[in-house]
Amino acid sequence: MNNLETFENPRPGRYFSITHENPEFTSVCPMTGLPDFGNIIVNYVPDKLCVELKSLKYYFLAYRDKGIFYEEITNQILDDLVAVCAPLEMEIISEWGTRGGMTSTIVASYIKE
Amino acid sequence: MNNLETFENPRPGRYFSITHENPEFTSVCPMTGLPDFGNIIVNYVPDKLCVELKSLKYYFLAYRDKGIFYEEITNQILDDLVAVCAPLEMEIISEWGTRGGMTSTIVASYIKE
Amino acid sequence: MNNLETFENPRPGRYFSITHENPEFTSVCPMTGLPDFGNIIVNYVPDKLCVELKSLKYYFLAYRDKGIFYEEITNQILDDLVAVCAPLEMEIISEWGTRGGMTSTIVASYIKE
Amino acid sequence: MNNLETFENPRPGRYFSITHENPEFTSVCPMTGLPDFGNIIVNYVPDKLCVELKSLKYYFLAYRDKGIFYEEITNQILDDLVAVCAPLEMEIISEWGTRGGMTSTIVASYIKE
Amino acid sequence: MNNLETFENPRPGRYFSITHENPEFTSVCPMTGLPDFGNIIVNYVPDKLCVELKSLKYYFLAYRDKGIFYEEITNQILDDLVAVCAPLEMEIISEWGTRGGMTSTIVASYIKE
Amino acid sequence: MNNLETFENPRPGRYFSITHENPEFTSVCPMTGLPDFGNIIVNYVPDKLCVELKSLKYYFLAYRDKGIFYEEITNQILDDLVAVCAPLEMEIISEWGTRGGMTSTIVASYIKE
Amino acid sequence: MNNLETFENPRPGRYFSITHENPEFTSVCPMTGLPDFGNIIVNYVPDKLCVELKSLKYYFLAYRDKGIFYEEITNQILDDLVAVCAPLEMEIISEWGTRGGMTSTIVASYIKE
Amino acid sequence: MNNLETFENPRPGRYFSITHENPEFTSVCPMTGLPDFGNIIVNYVPDKLCVELKSLKYYFLAYRDKGIFYEEITNQILDDLVAVCAPLEMEIISEWGTRGGMTSTIVASYIKE
Amino acid sequence: MNNLETFENPRPGRYFSITHENPEFTSVCPMTGLPDFGNIIVNYVPDKLCVELKSLKYYFLAYRDKGIFYEEITNQILDDLVAVCAPLEMEIISEWGTRGGMTSTIVASYIKE
Amino acid sequence: MNNLETFENPRPGRYFSITHENPEFTSVCPMTGLPDFGNIIVNYVPDKLCVELKSLKYYFLAYRDKGIFYEEITNQILDDLVAVCAPLEMEIISEWGTRGGMTSTIVASYIKE
């Protein structure tokens, strides 16, 4: 599931942030088998590597048929992206469509120690 | 009134937040007997347990015929949710429809010591 | 269920319109037993009688525990209000919260022949 | 109550429209004695006379302590303004703050025959 | 693909409209194999039958893995819904996410002759 | 002018906030005698007492015929509410309609020492 | 005051519309000597000539020190622009900042006979 | 400049509309040599042919270095698209960024006779 | 140019803030001679004196024919207002209309030492 | 590519900020050769020099035909502007149009040591 690619940070010594927002994320609820729809925001401060945008798109597409909970998805995306680009900081925000009359948002973050 | 259920936090060691927003909350004013309508936001950092969404929905439904003030509801929801999932932090925000030309918002929060 | 009251139109010969909007409507889904939440808009041109606002509020409250479908509610409100005030024209719009990922709107109208 | 003033239409032969909107209208509910708050929109096509803006402001101020219903206010403003400037067309829209959980809008109009 | 269900119109002689909006529609682009994301609006005037909401939801879900163009989807939904409920009027609006820097909207409608 | 009432804080040991917003405030400008219109926001952390909502509404109504400046109103409301409920913290925000082409906002706050 | 310039309509036989909106219009109130601020919208269907944009800008600038009422400005702009480009249709909309708590909008239009 | 491609209308006998909106259009002002930025909306009712989306994108890109006025661009796009797909109806709307403090919108349309 | 007036702070010992916003500011660009249009926000914490609103309005009017740059205006307003009312803190924000396709905002602030 | 000009800070000893926002930035993607469209925000605290607005506009125009990635552009603009005006602080924000269903934002900042 994880073919994420990276490219070299063009200003490795500078502290700057990159945000990618994907309002077209969909996965499957493992309880009901019905699709979930979310907006995923990736916000990070690169160290030596940046996440390549096209591979990020395909990485998200791989969740389309996967049965997985909101909390797990958000943390899994964080783990996978941290593993591949080793950022100084990273935050994943997932915002989900109405289920049972309620909307949900999950925020998970990482800071390099 | 409290059949809230939980499930295990999928990343117990990580500090991350979960928000559920319910714009379809209704209870009854104990003074007038008329219904109140609110938007309830639950925002928390789980420790070992997460609140299960469907049981949260039914927990909110149990207020439909209950006579209770804004300030009491907000604190009661905080007490009940803290009791069932023992979070690291939790905040309850309740936003209420116009009464007497005024709108009200109550915010109660808990931090594990 | 129908204790709607009226008062005399203050300008009976003039064609003018009155709109009342109630964003705090709730009824019960007859299939699931779960509450539905809607915004009800009453828009009419009075003939000899206007609908009294407080009785309209109590009329709406009477749906709180009633099991009834969107399409039926909308038409029933139209029938009840037409019966009580005999307007020249009346339109009822009901807008409903998300169910199964979808929102719904019903519009029913009446023109005196 | 009616000290409305007018000035001569600068283009008497041309069909054009003038709109004045007053979001700071207040009167008193004759049932409860409590104040009502509204937004009043005056939209008209002048014939020979235009309504002078400062006198319109003072005309609206005269409702501040007056006990009067929404439907009556809207039609009274229409009657008074038509009487003073004899327009080709005029429409009065009044939009009212939340009472009993509901908002109301009244629209009354006049066309010269 | 078409298991749409219907129920009897509760007011068969009255001309009234029903709108269902599904912001969580997804299908597959037959050119690229990549998913498309759309908002589908169904607006109709029922004759003898209304479309059952839950079956409509499952009908939309069946497009999740189907390769089909915007124009074809919109017209196919119109054909399928007209076939199953024979409305007096029906309009399908589909609004699509950005592709190649552009957004698209398709509107197809039917009027019973 | 000050008949504000209170009720006992339902969770006296917990730090939580209460906000009441009144968009229907009006007073009189002492310079011109013309009415002013404002939105008043009361935000506080209760200690032992909470402000009763209906008495707050009547307290605001008492300004309707009072000639008083923006800065004085805002501070007077703060003084009166602090005197009656002795909160841990309180903030009064007043937002005023356009006068002389300008809008104004006053913010006064109190922290118990 | 009128140095408006024109250029030839690039598609003289086709019925199409051109809109220019100027949110930075200012003139002077002839009663008070104080400046007025407006948004001016020019919407027209050209016949043989189009209004040149830069000369339109300078035409508007010429009102900066001119004492003139809302109704007169709107009609004067219409007269001047019709005179210079002889359009098939033209509409001038002027929207004005708050004066005495009220906003105003004037709409004047011309159709070639 | 015109490599627009088409595909067959999937429902040739039905009257339905297709809209494509491109907020990333840029051309060059022939007077100043500076770039113009616009939002182009293409709205049409197809007869036998639909405009292929990718070729439409490249068609728009061809204006990037072209010196051309707003009015000419809008009509040229209409002429080119009508020529290639012979629609029953077509409308081109172009909305342009602020120049000289003003924004402009051009609307050109075609109806098959 | 500086006839700013003040009045005594009604609560001299309390730390509170006052904001005045003027969306109708205009001056002249010293390079081009063309008018600039801005929104000026004055936000301050008074010590012993408050700025009188009507004199502030006339102070702003005095810039109408003055040739002066954005950065200079913002700092000059700050200097003049600090000189006249000696506040504990003051911030001036100026937001400017589009020039050369760009908008600008200047923020200057003062804290009493 | 770098003909940026500066002028002397009119208040060299005061800490104040200047923001310029350019919603009409375009460059070329070095991978696909297709244009990118962005909104560029320059926010800085000047020391002795301010960036001249017209030269900033021409500086941005020079990217129109340049193949360069989002991350590189943002950092290059920061480097060039810091080099020319030596500010106390500077932040560059670039917000980019939808590509592959995703939007991106880059934020780079500099603080003088």
Q: Using one digit for the tens of pLDDT, what is the confidence trace for G66-95?
A: 999 999 999 999 999 999 999 999 999 999
Quick check: is J1 in a domain?
no
Return per-residue pLDDT of chain B as tens, 113 residues.
578 999 999 999 899 999 999 999 999 999 899 999 999 999 999 999 999 999 999 999 999 999 999 999 999 999 999 999 999 999 999 999 999 899 999 999 999 98
Provide the residue range defining the domain that includes D53.
6-111
> Residue written as tokens 């002759």?
E113
**Number of folded domains in chain J?**
1
Report the CATH number that the domain containing residue F19 is assigned in CATH: 3.30.1130.10
Whether F42 contacts F20, CB under 8 Å? yes
> Catalytic site residue D36?
yes
Quick check: is E1 in a domain?
no
CB pair distance less than 8 Å for B14 and A107: no
Give the number of C-alpha atoms closer than 13 A to the C-alpha of residue A69, restricted to the C-beta side: 13
- Counting as contact any 3 or more CB pairs under 8 A, the partners of H are E, G, I, J
* Interface mutation target, options I98, I102, I103, chain H, most CBs of H under 10 Å: I98
Question: What is the distance, to the nearest Å, from the Cα of residue I30 to the centroid of all Cα atoms in its chain?
Answer: 19
Q: Min CA distance, F102 vs chain D (Å)?
A: 15
CB pair distance less than 8 Å for F14 and B75: yes
Side chain identity, residue H4? L
Pairwise CA distance, residues B60 & J36, whole Å: 47
pLDDT of residue A113: 86
Contacts of J31 (CB under 8 A, 6+ apart): none
What is the torsion angle, in degrees rounded to the nearest 10, for the CA atoms of residue F4, residue F6, residue F12 and residue F17? -50
Give the number of C-alpha atoms closer than 13 A to the C-alpha of residue F67, restricted to the C-beta side: 6
Quick check: is I1 in a domain?
no
pLDDT of residue G3: 87
List, in sequence order, every residue forming a beta bridge with J50; answer none if it has no partner: J7
Six-digit token string for B49? 């347990």
Contacts of D51 (CB under 8 A, 6+ apart): D4, D5, D6, D18, D20, D42, D44, D81, D84, D85
> Catalytic site residue C29?
yes
Question: Could you report the per-residue pLDDT of G1-25, keeping only the tens digit for each?
Answer: 578 999 999 999 899 999 999 999 9
The band of E113, judged by pLDDT with boundaries at 50, 70 and 90, is: confident
User: Which of J13, A110, I31, H17 lies closest to E95, judged by CA?
Assistant: H17
List, in sequence order, every residue forming a beta bridge with C92; answer none if it has no partner: C42, C108
Average of per-residue pLDDT across D33-41: 97
| Pairing of the two strands A35-45 and G6-8 | unpaired
Which strand (E) or helix (H) includes residue A79?
A: helix A70-85
Quick check: is J55 in a domain?
yes
pLDDT of residue E100: 87
User: Which of C75, C74, C111 lies closest to C96, judged by CA?
Assistant: C74
SS3 assignment, position H28: strand
What are the Cα distances from residue G86, in Å, to B44, G22, G45, G93? 66, 21, 10, 18
Question: Could you report the per-residue pLDDT of H42-53, keeping only the tens digit for each?
Answer: 999 999 999 999
Pairwise CA distance, residues D15 & F32, whole Å: 37
Six-digit token string for F70? 């923006």
Give me the residues of chain I with pLDDT under 50, please. none
| Full 3-state SS string of J10-53 | CCCCCCEEEEEEEEEEEEECCCCCCEEEEEEEEEEECCCEEECH
In this complex, whether J and E touch, counting 3 or more CB pairs under 8 angstroms, is yes
The band of J19, judged by pLDDT with boundaries at 50, 70 and 90, is: very high
pLDDT of residue D113: 86
CB pair distance less than 8 Å for H101 and I97: yes
Give the number of C-alpha atoms closer than 13 A to the C-alpha of residue D102, restricted to the C-beta side: 24
Would you say residue F1 has pLDDT above 80? no
**Chain F contact for D61, CB < 8 A?**
yes
**How many other C-beta atoms can be found within 10 angstroms of the C-beta atom of residue H45?**
18
Six-digit token string for J103? 């939007």
Would you say residue E2 has pLDDT above 90? no
The band of J66, judged by pLDDT with boundaries at 50, 70 and 90, is: very high
Would you say residue D8 has pLDDT above 70? yes
Six-digit token string for E57? 């939801």
In this complex, whether J and H touch, counting 3 or more CB pairs under 8 angstroms, is yes
Average of per-residue pLDDT across A10-22: 95
Question: What is the distance, to the nearest Å, from the Cα of residue E87 to the centroid of all Cα atoms in its chain?
Answer: 13
Considering CB atoms only, which of J99, J102, J107 is closest to A16? J107
> Residue written as tokens 């008497």?
D12
- Strands (E) in C1-113, as ranges, are 6-8, 16-28, 35-45, 49-51, 89-99, 102-111
Average of per-residue pLDDT across F58-74: 96
The band of H3, judged by pLDDT with boundaries at 50, 70 and 90, is: confident
Considering CB atoms only, which of J37, J97, J101 is closest to E97? J101
Considering CB atoms only, which of D23, D34, D61 is closest to F35? D61
Question: Could you report the per-residue pLDDT of A23-60, keeping only the tens digit for each?
Answer: 999 999 998 999 999 999 999 999 999 999 999 999 99
**Chain G contact for D9, CB < 8 A?**
yes
Side chain identity, residue B75? N
Q: Min CA distance, E101 vs chain H (Å)?
A: 6
Which of D82-100 are b and which e, b meaning 16 or more Cβ less than 10 Å from the residue's Cβ? Answer: bebbebebbbbbbbbbbbb
Pairwise CA distance, residues D39 & G102, whole Å: 10
DSSP codes of every residue in E44-96: EE-SSEEE-HHHHHHHHHTTTT-B--HHHHHHHHHHHHHHHH--SEEEEEEEE
pTM attached to this predicted model:
0.94
Quick check: is D1 in a domain?
no
Quick check: is C102 in a domain?
yes
Side chain identity, residue E80? D
The torsion angles phi and psi of I85, rounded to 5 degrees, stand at -125, 0
* Interface mutation target, options I34, I96, I102, I107, chain J, most CBs of J under 10 Å: I102
> Residue written as tokens 């600068």?
D10
Give the number of C-alpha atoms closer than 13 A to the C-alpha of residue C97, restricted to the C-beta side: 23
Whether C3 contacts C55, CB under 8 Å? yes
Radius of gyration from C-alpha coordinates of chain D:
14
Question: Could you report the per-residue pLDDT of H4-17, keeping only the tens digit for each?
Answer: 999 999 999 899 99
Q: Pick the more confident residue, D1 or D97.
A: D97
Quick check: is H1 in a domain?
no
Which strand (E) or helix (H) includes residue H98?
A: strand H89-99
| Full 3-state SS string of A12-44 | CCCCEEEEEEEEEEEEECCCCCCEEEEEEEEEE
CB pair distance less than 8 Å for J10 and I69: yes
CB pair distance less than 8 Å for A102 and B50: no
Question: H34-38: long-range contacts at Cβ-Cβ below 8 A with a sequence spacing of 24 or more?
Answer: H34/J61, H35/J24, H35/J26, H35/J61, H35/J64, H36/H70, H36/H96, H36/H97, H36/H99, H37/H96, H37/H97, H37/I101, H37/J23, H37/J24, H37/J26, H38/H70, H38/H73, H38/H94, H38/H95, H38/H96, H38/H97
Kindly report the average pLDDT of chain D as a whole number: 95
What are the Cα distances from residue D10, in Å, to D47, D110, E95, G26, G76? 10, 22, 47, 20, 10
